[in-house]
Structure 1
Amino acid sequence: MPKSKPALTSREVFARNLRRARRLKDITQESLALDAGVPRAYLSRVERGTINISIDNADALSRAIGVPLHDLVDPAKFAGFDEQ
């Protein structure tokens, strides 16, 4: 019987969904970071899931990208979109 993949953490779901939403909207990391008021290097770490993000920064990024915060933490959202 094949092993199932472990469930993603909330941080991993947020990272994946943010990256996919940004790519779907054809927005660069530089542009999103500028609009959200965070450094681009910080955004890169958020999208890779290597840093814990505060709720304030998560809200700033969701507003800047135009996607409700609850969609960015929903494991089912953006699940059908392939990573490039």
Structure 2
Amino acid sequence: MKNRIAELRAERSWTQADLAQRIGVSRQSINAIETGKFDPSLPVAFRLAKLLSLTIEDIFTDE
């Protein structure tokens, strides 16, 4: 699954740690999601979408 998290995070000048704190996960989790090594759980995907004011489909795409 591809995602735009790094791009969206950079637009807001947030570090991985900033984003992680805002949605309640570890920085390592953000890194793993951004690099495609890990797909987030549905609750984490919803928290990301809500925080970024986007839909899940705007953030994640099926390769």
Q: Which structure has greater helix proportion?
A: 2
Confirm or deny a common fold (TM above 0.5).
yes
TM-score in terms of structure 1 length: 0.63
CA RMSD of superposed structures (Å): 1.7
Greater share of residues in strand: 2
**TM-score (norm: length of structure 2):** 0.80
* Gap regions ≥5 residues in structure 1: 1-10, 76-84
- Work out the percentage of aligned pairs sharing the same amino acid: 23
- Give, in whole Å, the separation in 2 of the partners of 1:65 and 1:38: 15
Runs of 4 or more consecutive aligned structure 1 residues displaced over 4 Å after TM superposition: none
Could you say which structure has the larger radius of gyration? Answer: 1
5+ long unaligned stretches in structure 2? none
- Mapped partners of 2:26, 2:51: distance in 1: 13
Greater relative contact order structure (CA < 8 Å, 6+ sep):
2
